[in-house]
Chains A and B, each alone.
Chain A
Amino acid sequence: AQRVTQPEKLLSVFKGAPVELKCNYSYSGSPELFWYVQYSRQRLQLLLRHISRESIKGFTADLNKGETSFHLKKPFAQEEDSAMYYCALSGGSYIPTFGRGTSLIVHP
C-alpha cells in the first residue's frame, strides 16, 4: 500500500519568510513523488516532480529516501504563492495517491 502524509492542514507565513511544506510517504518500492498546486479558481496543476530536479517558481523539493520525505521549500515566500498544495506519490499502479493537502497563506 502507498500513503502520503501532509501533517499541516494550514501554513501561514509572511511575505519574504521561508516556507517549508512537509510531505512524508510510505511505499515499499521505488516511488515517484510530485507536488501539485491549486490556486484559487484555477485548475490543479503540476508544480514539480522529483525526477526532473527542477526549481519551479522558486520552489524546490528533494526526495529523502532515508526519511521517506519530499518536503517543498521556498526561501522567500510571495503573496502569489498562496494556494492549496498537494503532495502525491506514484507507486506500483503509476496512479498518483494524493495527500490531504496543505493550504499556504502568505500575508503581505
Chain B
Amino acid sequence: DTEVTQTPKHLVMGMTNKKSLKCEQHMGHRAMYWYKQKAKKPPELMFVYSYEKLSINESVPSRFSPECPNSSLLNLHLHALQPEDSALYLCASSQTRGQLDGELFFGEGSRLTVL
C-alpha cells in the first residue's frame, strides 16, 4: 500500500460544530504532516509529527488540534472554525532516515467548507 488515505473527502460544518479529519498510511513512514491549501496556492504547513510526537506547529490557531494516535494515523480536530478556514486540508507522510525526508506522499485531501 503506497497511498495516504484521507477521510472525509468533503466536509461542511458550521462555526459551532466539532468535527475531525482523518489520515492513514501504511508505508511505515514515521513522519506525518498537515497542510492547508487554498485555491491555486501552494500548501501551507500546519503541523509535523515525527515518531508520533508533535515536532512542528506553525503557529496554527488552537481551533485546530492535531492528534497522532499511532504511527499510521493522524487526525485533525476542528472546533469553532471561521469561514476563512475553508480550504483543502492535505495530509502527507515521509520517511525518516535519521532525519525527515523531503519526499512527501500526499493524500487527496479533505475539502472543508465552514458556513
Can you offer 15 A-B residue contacts whose CB atoms are under 8 A?
Answer: A32-B102, A34-B103, A43-B4, A43-B107, A43-B108, A43-B109, A44-B43, A44-B104, A44-B106, A45-B106, A94-B101, A95-B102, A99-B42, A101-B40, A101-B42
Chain B contacts to A: CB under 8 angstroms? 4, 33, 40-43, 45, 48, 56, 90, 99-109
Main secondary structure, interface of B, reads loop
Cα–Cα distance between A88 and B106 once the two chains are bound (Å): 14
User: How many residues belonging to A are interface residues under a CB distance threshold of 8 Å?
Assistant: 22
Interface centre among A46, A96, A100 (most CB of B within 10 A): A96
The answer to whether B99 touches A103 (Cβ under 8 A) is no
**How many pairs of A and B residues are in contact by the CB < 8 Å rule?**
48
The answer to whether A100 touches B42 (Cβ under 8 A) is yes
- Interface bits A6-34 vs B (CB < 8 Å: 1, else 0): 00000000000000000000000000101
Chain A contacts to B: CB under 8 angstroms? 32, 34, 36, 42-46, 49, 84, 86, 88, 90, 93-96, 98-101, 103
Chain B, Cβ-Cβ closest to A97: B45
